[in-house]
Amino acid sequence: MNTSNSNSSSYKLDNYKLDKMQTGNQTFFLEKLGRDCEPLQYIRELTVNSIQAIQERMKNNTDNYLGQIIWDVDWQFLQHFGTYKLQISDNGTGMTPEHIRERIRDLATSGRTQSYKENFGVGAKITAGVLNPYGLVYKSWVDDKGCLTKFHKDFHLNEYGLERIELENGLYSPFMDISNDEKCNPIDTCGTSITLLGKSEDDTTVISSEKSLKWIVYYLNSKFFEIPNNITIKVRVFNKIDSKEWPQNERDTSASQFRIIKSMKQNLGEHSIASGIEEFETVKIHWFILPEEGVRQDDLWNCRTQSAAIYQGELYEVRSNKQALARIRDFGIIYGTNRMVIYAEPKEQRLDVYPDLSRKSLQIDGGGLPWDIWCADFRQNMPQEIKDMMDGVSSKISGKDHRQKIADRLKEIEHLMRISRYKRNTTGPISAGGHLPGGLLRRSELIQSNTHGGGRNGGGRGLDIYAAYRRSGEPNAIETSFHNNIPDIKWVSIKNGSRFEDDELEDRAAMYLERENTLQINEDFRVFTDLIDHQIPLRPDVDSLETKDVIQEYIASQLVEVVMGIQSLKGSRVWDDDEIKQALSPEALTSASIPRFTLIRQVNKVIGQRRGSAPSNDVANTDES
């Protein structure tokens, strides 16, 4: 490189070979990242920082040292300023001014191990700092020597940093010495407390925007799958929502109490009726069966059906209630899904897994977790306890099996219901296009497709030996045998426990489970119940159960035709997998079941043939003209 260029004189020359990149407009960068994080992630970040400080101190202690983390009111701030500010304190290693400067001032610096798999060095500054621009007050002791600093946003400069405090000698420093009188529990010779000041001096930070009294308890109980041994986390909870009834000092125990944080592993272990761990090549699957009557501790922890991934003792990608049902069914659990909790714990020695910056999800080489593989492994090795639970639920399903009647009826229109398939053959007389999967992906292919952000549920192009439809062009296929795969039909209801309130069938007609080839029809759907209630009085000469059975038979027949018809579109160049899935969704099946005119006519015709009479006032039997 020619260094004699005339422009080089305008730059300061040094011995470094790299002109290091810097972060411009750090305020924008910090606040943008903060908005990408979960609203309560700062509770996690500050708690984990305290856990790491305690674990660091444990390395150098041979006595019976026990770590403590306490979420409480900053009582000193309340005494001086009259506002309830949230404070977290621990008896970990503590920080010297040099440590604080290193860990807090720089945007992405951590005094502990920093890596894409462990501590990023940005969490507390981003999550807590952005939500508390008025400040985070740090008090920290190392060997009984304490210091104080304040991280905040200067609104005039529009920048974040450590506030310079005026000292007694008239000089300014980001740090000031403090006495041991400023300590709070559980700090002994070492430890740190952080007070969250919110957006202003008058901002109350001990309560969430939802006005929930146990918000920190619920969050921490539900976030951690495990809490490290010899560490206790306590949270003060007020008994009243009205701040006028809150305690005025730390000694007043009449209006508040401390709650010990339990991990999800401990909570589920105490309340589930069965649990276990299934271990596979790249994952451990933790499963829990909740009692049929449920667990009533919704204010303390996430005690509903859910799925999640476990990473370093924490839960990621948590899906609860309705959002969890589809994934739980992917694990092969199609009955009693509302009683299941399933966590997947990737084996870090086999998969290069790490969290994203916002800690919402886990990634492998920039892609998602291989849920397809894990679900398939679990389905093939279903624990007996879960099988027994599903059998118990499915055994309560009442109603006749209409599958054979529907199959016999469909034979009359077999040529219309025909789902043709064509096998690739270079000498075949038929020209065919599209593709249907001809087998399952090999495990290596499935792992590769999932660890790069996706993956298919069916066969791959390498196994594409079947075509979907005829087309014009050169002959290349032969027609194979007709496949008439009528799904199993199950009428499910809240009354018998085969479905539950607010599930995916709430106010929906039906749901098709492709892998099990099962059509679950909602017996509680108001369109069906209204129809039955309307028809029964019209035939007082017919047993009400018989009328109900005929109506359900023809509802099922109508839905079966829809399912089989949509399946015949698979492989079309204009029907991709997502569109097929959408066409078979509960919403689509509901739309298909709404028409009732022809259905009523057919039901009355069948009943009339059986009884030799027609119902009274049957508008469906009037002339269509």
The pLDDT of residue 479 is 61
* Cα dihedral: 214, 266, 261, 103 (round 10): -120
278, 381 in Cβ contact below 8 A? yes
The pLDDT of residue 20 is 54
Taking domain 266-394, whether its CATH number is 3.30.70 is answered by no
**DSSP secondary structure of 22-61:** --SSHHHHHHHHHHHS-TTHHHHHHHHHHHHHHHHHHHT-
Q: If pLDDT is split at 50, 70 and 90, which confidence band does 27 have?
A: confident
485, 467 in Cβ contact below 8 A? no
Closest by CA position to 462, among listed 478, 479, 438: 438
pTM more than 0.85: no
Residue with tokens 């007082």: 540
DSSP bridge pairs for 279 = 284
Residue 203 φ then ψ, to 5°: -75, 120
- Has residue 574 got a pLDDT over 80? yes
Tokens of residue 161, six digits: 């940093």
* Separation between Cα atoms, residue 142 and residue 126, nearest integer Å: 25
Q: Is 494 helix (H, G, I), strand (E, B) or coil?
A: coil
66, 54 in Cβ contact below 8 A? no
- Has residue 391 got a pLDDT over 70? yes
The pLDDT of residue 19 is 59
Domain boundaries, the chain: 26-261, 266-394, 396-419+484-625, 421-481
Q: If pLDDT is split at 50, 70 and 90, which confidence band does 459 have?
A: very low
For 26-261, CATH number out of 3.30.565.10, 3.40.50.300, 3.30.300.30, 3.50.50.60 equals: 3.30.565.10
* Separation between Cα atoms, residue 202 and residue 193, nearest integer Å: 20
pLDDT exceeding 70 applies to what percent of the chain? 78
The pLDDT of residue 10 is 52
The pLDDT of residue 432 is 65
Rounded to an integer, the average pLDDT of 482-504 is 86
106-115, 208-217, 386-395: which has the highest mean pLDDT? 386-395
Pick 8 or 319 by higher pLDDT. 319
The pLDDT of residue 453 is 39
Q: What CA–CA distances, in Å, run from 573 to 418, 432, 455, 569, 583?
A: 19, 12, 19, 9, 16
The pLDDT of residue 12 is 56
The pLDDT of residue 30 is 74
The pLDDT of residue 458 is 39
Name, in order, each residue with C-beta under 8 angstroms of 451's C-beta and a sequence gap of 6 or more: 351, 364, 365, 367, 370
- pLDDT tens string 229-246: 999 999 999 998 888 999
Closest by CA position to 217, among listed 264, 259, 266, 263: 259
The pLDDT of residue 559 is 94
- Has residue 369 got a pLDDT over 80? yes
Residue with tokens 């020597």: 145
The pLDDT of residue 278 is 98
Q: If pLDDT is split at 50, 70 and 90, which confidence band does 485 have?
A: confident
Q: If pLDDT is split at 50, 70 and 90, which confidence band does 463 have?
A: very low
- pLDDT tens string 79-95: 999 999 999 999 999 99
**Mode of pairing for the β-strands spanning 165-166 and 274-279:** unpaired
DSSP bridge pairs for 176 = 148
337-351, 439-453, 556-570: which has the highest mean pLDDT? 337-351
* Separation between Cα atoms, residue 617 and residue 576, nearest integer Å: 46
**Region label for 211, one of left (φ > 0), alpha (ψ between -120 and 50) or beta (otherwise):** left
Closest by CA position to 234, among listed 269, 262, 271, 261: 261
The pLDDT of residue 230 is 93
* Separation between Cα atoms, residue 26 and residue 158, nearest integer Å: 10
- pLDDT tens string 181-202: 999 999 999 999 999 999 999 9
- Has residue 389 got a pLDDT over 60? yes
